[in-house]
Structure 1
Amino acid sequence: MIRNLLIAATAVLAFAANERPSAAADRPNVVILLSDDQRWNDYSFQGHEAIQTPNIDRLAEQSMVYQRGYVPTSLCRPSLASLFTGLYPHQDGITGNDPREGKRTKEGRAVLVDRFMKNPRLAEILGRHGYVSFQSGKWWEGNPSSGGFTAGMTHGDVTKGGRHGDVGLTIGRKTMEPVMNFIDESVAADKPFFLWYAPMMPHLPHDPPERILKKYKAEGRPLPVAKYFAMCDWWDETCGQVLDHLEEKGVADNTIVIYLCDNGWTQRSDVGGGAIGGPRGKRSVYDGGTRTPIMIRYPGHAKPSENTTDLASSIDVVPTILAAAGIQTDYNFPGINLLNPEAVAKRQAIFGEIYAHDIPDYRSPEKGLFYRWVIDGDWKLIVPTGQEEGEYGPKEPALFNLKSDPEEQKNVISDHPDVAKKLREKLDGWWSPKV
């Protein structure tokens, strides 16, 4: 039985004052399938030579696919917060995984949750328009009620091990029952629903079932690599279970499914590889850390296609969902509706920011800022602040042509100073912090 949550009493946000409710017939169900620590091309539909993802491949065939999708930052909590609020990390105040002061204390984490709740929040907005919602998997912001969820798995109590999902992290790995029950109960009640399906998969620990792992064990392939490959396969299997259940309940045609990953990953060949994996993946400013396919399946509204040229960002997810649900707000979200071809065609650039793991001061995001980046067409400019504490990007400003150099190995800033100047102006026009 789904555990109902007491929704926290919060003041009505100013941006919501003039929201216009949507008609019931125009309200699609919403499902977000959120991968955790997976490189953008670690899927069979993206051409991976070994990893098998038949369910996500099928979803891709049925979806509008933005292969050049990105998240603004390549670390779990700020990436999820940005996705959920529709704001950049420097706007919503969640720039890292933990506060630097009071890192694992109840009081320290409560400060960030309180800051998070001052933002627009997807489940809360949908809830005011008749949606029921369910949180499963990764959730950093205390109890799911902080996001406006009407039900969920996570308790969020720091004194009982709450940090980034606690009980909710059993979803996918140990059980699918809470998610299936939520869908069943929502359909039975004839309520539009929002499902947040964000298992800690293929995230460490890489402990796939032997039945899947044996598919990837091969001569010359290190076991840690085989385990990661199998985790991607296992994640795909659980996505298939969710998608199949939507079909079984007869609601797939009235459900908008959005697929993406929170950040990239580089799997090392040695045992373990650490919490951030290998270089140029998680936490990095390179595409290996920030790029992800973004897929939208919405029958009759999103034309299935392989979009290989237009840019998309996780910043776009909230405005896309609200537009699909017919919900209008006065808040000026920085993203666009990815189902609006005119808005997509007009976009010239996307932006991002990389920060310290621990937040020095949520009121001054520039204090933990390592990099800003911008992509315009095939060009990507990276501008470091000089505050970096690791090896997550270049030490000096760098310009890459992603078409001819997709792995970002050759800095051509000296060859194209005019391009770099133009992109720097766009980057500063987006956000120009004083570091």
Structure 2
Amino acid sequence: MMIKKMTALALLGTMLATTHIIAQQRPNIVFILADDLGYGDLGVYGQTKIKTPNIDRLAREGMVFTQFYAGTSVCAPSRSSLLTGQHTGHTFVRGNKEIAPEGQEPLADTVQSYATLLKQAGYATGAFGKWGLGMVGTSGAPDKKGFTTFFGYNCQRQSHRYYPTHLWNNNEKVELTGNDLTQKKVYAPDLIQIMALAFIMDHKDKPFFLFIPTTLPHAELQGPDDEYYKMYEHSFEEHAYKGNDYGPGAKVAGYASVEKPRATYAAMVSRMDAYVGQVLDRLDALGLTDNTIVIFASDNGAHQEGGADPLFFNSTGGLRGYKRDLYEGGIKTPFIVKWPGKVKAGSKSDFVGAFWDLMPTFTEIGGAPKPRYTDGISIVPTLLGKKKQATHPYLYWEFHEDGGRQAVRMGKWKGIRQNVMKDHNAPLELYDLSKDPAEQHNIAATNAGIVKKMSAYMKEAHVESDVFPLTGK
């Protein structure tokens, strides 16, 4: 009897040990999401004026995607698409709908996120930065969507301020009492970064999913007068007044009105790049690098707000459009994946994918339950260099401001429809991205068959929403 008992205990010990080994073999996942960073704002994607050595290092050690897209061209719906694995014709939040006094339209309680599924699979889950998908206490709050730890801006409207009065630590409001005119101010992104790095340390012994939706480089353009700003303080001075007739004192006027915003924007991008470097260094220091996937992307295209100058920096990489457009410059995102021993270092992929692909990708990598629904396909075969990668028949986007817009990418073709709320059968613009990546030549008139097919896809992909109506009342 004693022998049987000892055997049972030994067997239990072996099972527990095996479970621990399996848990350690499952990779950690770190997903860093920039805010309003353009496709061309990084060195690896052609940027020449702004220094991004850490993200460029990430690219050298991983895979760079050249045909990857955000959920749409503004914050909340793009992030909804990301978390739910659905394009904006299906996902719950499809626009930036504000709620007083703080917060946005919350994700419904029935909405499933990949964080919930990874949590069910035993992952520690944390989000640090900007949320914007439901205020504390609502069905869309981070803790209701799978994150056991959240620190940052719950409300994306509040995140426009880099020296805010408060942040949120899970459901606790954290007052930043120094953020007034008489006391030392707290630069919120720095504080959020400290908490994100602490999360890695706290969960180094079990699989974790770390989501860092940083607010950088979203407007307002603001940051401390430190090493990152000084790096660019006079870099663009010669451009600030050259070619502009400011009259007497042109240099001073030009510097004040143009140079400072440019320098600040560049400093914000470089600060974000430094945060990426800190994450990589922390993983190295803890011996976690070889078992961690690190992914970097942006939530939409480059912005023109708060003095930002995307034309000067070529932030779109030569693509047409900016934030709020469904042209390539508004939705195409830098997308980089590092996974040591799995993803070939220094590789590139032209796989045509989008944010909704991350739901099936993350759940497959993490051994999590399959999602109840998704518009995405797993990109694991591409990451592992396998040939049998499923592809999309088409990608679809909606935009619910400025009269409403729809877009479809089908192979080399890109179709865009404007003013959809007024006329959901409005004329469709058509571009051949293989010959015209900057979308300069509308060839709809000579490709009636393609236009008809695009229109059918737009109708098929859009399911009308009572909360965010587009084609109906």
Q: Provide the secondary structure at the position in 2 that maps to 1:195.
A: strand
- Corresponding pairs, count: 386
1:155 deviates by 7.5
Which digits, 9 at most, give the CA deviation of each residue in 1:307-337, with x for residues without a partner?
Answer: 3532110111121111111223252311011
In the alignment, structure 1 residue 321 sits paired with structure 2 residue 362: yes
Match of 1:183 in 2: 200
Matches within 5 A, 1:191-340: 191-210=206-225, 211-216=227-232, 217-218=235-236, 219-221=238-240, 222-223=258-259, 224-267=261-304, 271=307, 280-329=321-370, 331-340=372-381
Which digits, 9 at most, give the CA deviation of each residue in 1:399-426, with x for residues without a partner?
Answer: 1122332222221111222222233333
Q: Provide the secondary structure at the position in 1 that maps to 2:379.
A: coil
Of stretches 50-59 and 277-286 in structure 1, the one that deviates more from structure 2 is 277-286
Matches within 5 A, 1:7-22: none
The residue type equivalent to 1:239 in the other structure is V
CA distance in 1, matches of 2:203, 2:212: 15
CA distance in 1, matches of 2:353, 2:307: 35
CA distance in 2, matches of 1:315, 1:82: 6
Whether the 8 Å contact between 1:69 and 1:293 is mirrored in structure 2 is yes
> Which of residues 133, 148, 151 in structure 2 aligns to 1:150?
148
Q: Provide the secondary structure at the position in 1 that maps to 2:90.
A: helix
1:57 deviates by 0.7
The residue type equivalent to 1:179 in the other structure is A
In the alignment, structure 1 residue 355 sits paired with structure 2 residue 411: no
| Root-mean-square deviation (Å) | 3.3
Match of 2:178 in 1: none
Aligned identity (percent) is 30
Whether the 8 Å contact between 1:67 and 1:294 is mirrored in structure 2 is yes
Matches within 5 A, 1:114-125: 115-125=107-117
The residue type equivalent to 2:274 in the other structure is E
Whether the 8 Å contact between 2:262 and 2:309 is mirrored in structure 1 is no
The residue type equivalent to 1:122 in the other structure is Y
CA distance in 1, matches of 2:29, 2:452: 41
Q: Provide the secondary structure at the position in 2 that maps to 1:92.
A: coil
> Greater CA radius of gyration, 1 or 2?
2
Q: Provide the secondary structure at the position in 1 that maps to 2:54.
A: helix
Of stretches 258-267 and 33-42 in structure 1, the one that deviates more from structure 2 is 258-267
Q: Provide the secondary structure at the position in 2 that maps to 1:38.
A: coil
Whether the 8 Å contact between 1:142 and 1:155 is mirrored in structure 2 is no
Q: Provide the secondary structure at the position in 2 that maps to 1:45.
A: helix
Say if 1:162 and 1:208 are closer, same or farther in 2 by CA, change over 3 A.
closer
1:353 deviates by 1.2
Whether the 8 Å contact between 1:320 and 1:336 is mirrored in structure 2 is yes
The residue type equivalent to 1:339 in the other structure is V
CA distance in 2, matches of 1:376, 1:97: 27
1:35 deviates by 0.4
Which digits, 9 at most, give the CA deviation of each residue in 1:205-263, with x for residues without a partner?
Answer: 22244432343332114322332222211111111111111111111111111211001
Structure-2-length-normalised TM-score: 0.73
The residue type equivalent to 1:291 in the other structure is K
Whether the 8 Å contact between 1:66 and 1:312 is mirrored in structure 2 is no
> Which of residues 100, 120, 128 in structure 2 aligns to 1:104?
100
CA distance in 2, matches of 1:35, 1:27: 26
Q: Provide the secondary structure at the position in 2 that maps to 1:65.
A: strand
Match of 1:58 in 2: 57
Match of 1:383 in 2: 417
Q: Provide the secondary structure at the position in 2 that maps to 1:145.
A: helix
Say if 1:171 and 1:314 are closer, same or farther in 2 by CA, change over 3 A.
farther
The residue type equivalent to 1:151 in the other structure is T
Match of 1:68 in 2: 67
Say if 1:148 and 1:328 are closer, same or farther in 2 by CA, change over 3 A.
closer
Say if 1:157 and 1:417 are closer, same or farther in 2 by CA, change over 3 A.
closer
Say if 1:407 and 1:228 are closer, same or farther in 2 by CA, change over 3 A.
farther
Which digits, 9 at most, give the CA deviation of each residue in 1:371-423, with x for residues without a partner?
Answer: 2211123220012343379xxxxx74101122332222221111222222233
Whether the 8 Å contact between 2:89 and 2:397 is mirrored in structure 1 is no
Match of 2:47 in 1: 48
Of stretches 41-50 and 24-33 in structure 1, the one that deviates more from structure 2 is 24-33
Q: Provide the secondary structure at the position in 2 that maps to 1:56.
A: helix
Whether the 8 Å contact between 1:264 and 1:292 is mirrored in structure 2 is yes
1:163 deviates by 10
Of stretches 295-304 and 280-289 in structure 1, the one that deviates more from structure 2 is 295-304
1:157 deviates by 8.6
Match of 1:135 in 2: 127
Say if 1:305 and 1:418 are closer, same or farther in 2 by CA, change over 3 A.
farther
